[in-house]
Amino acid sequence: MIRVAAVGDVHAGPDSRRQLKEAFADVDEVADLLLLAGDLTKSGSPDEAAVLADALTGVDIPMVAVLGNHDHHSDRPHDVRRVLGSVRIQMLEGTSAVVEAHGVRVGVAGVKGFGGGFEDASAADFGEPETKAYIRHTKERAAALQRALDGLDTPIRIALMHYAPIRQTLEGEHPELFPWLGSYLLAEACDRGGANLVIHGHAHHGRERGRTPAGIPVRNVAAPVLGHPYAIYVMEERHAESSPRSRFALRDPVDARG
């Protein structure tokens, strides 16, 4: 049994220093791994990243993160990654990390993702250069996610991103915003890459649970959706499964805090 703590959209800044320290004070006791699903800062400044880094300094479990759109706003994503990496957070972007918990290797493939829309309502890379660039970036990020998943040879494979891969977890947001909140191409990458669990943030007014077209559980862990510091998702071993790549499945999530 592997316990995965996950949260996104914490929007760290000087005014959240105490709140974040309290939020992660006991994560070591209730989880084996911490995933951070982007928008880790308010506006992408290294000083804001340092607030979150300070809150996570004493955390001993493995930590893996991707950046979100807020983390790119100041055009200093490399500096944000550097600050967070200084406290042992593994920063992913089209890459993967493998950590171990209770003797089980857990693979995490991560990208920021991007927008574009969903089936039957998605933009195409056609027309003005700006439109083509937007959709091509989404395609590139989805392809990078699939490559990262394909490269994992672990019994647990988690896809971590900021933007949403499905409509379901956006329900509650204005439908007009859906093209800016995610893309179905991310879900296709997860299905093709064989993830066991998909984690994203970004949709503050969405809902927590959904599934990809192939049935992979998707969880929106944006902090406003969760209503508490993080969620815990339990991956349990299925002894009847013959394939080592599908030995683990998600159990109903258990909240770390009420």
Q: Which phi and psi angles does 212 have, rounded to 5°? A: -75, 170
Whole-number Å distance between alpha carbons of 83 and 114: 23
Please report, in tens digits, the pLDDT of each residue of the chain (258 residues total).
899 999 999 999 999 999 999 999 999 999 999 999 999 999 999 999 999 999 999 999 999 999 999 999 999 999 999 999 999 999 999 999 999 999 999 999 999 999 999 988 888 888 999 999 999 999 999 999 999 999 999 999 999 999 999 999 999 999 999 999 999 999 999 999 999 999 999 999 999 999 999 999 999 999 999 999 999 999 988 765 545 556 788 886 544 433
- Residue 129, class by beta-carbon neighbours within 10 Å (0-12 exposed, 13-18 middle, 19+ buried)? exposed
What does the angle CA 181 – CA 187 – CA 188 come to, to the nearest 5 degrees?
A: 135
Domain limits for position 187:
2-255
Number of structural domains in the chain: 1
Query: For the domain that residue 203 is a member of, what is the CATH number?
Result: 3.60.21.10
Say what the pTM is: 0.94
Tell me what pLDDT residue 251 has.
80
The answer to whether the Cα torsion of 16, 169, 172, 138 is positive or negative is positive
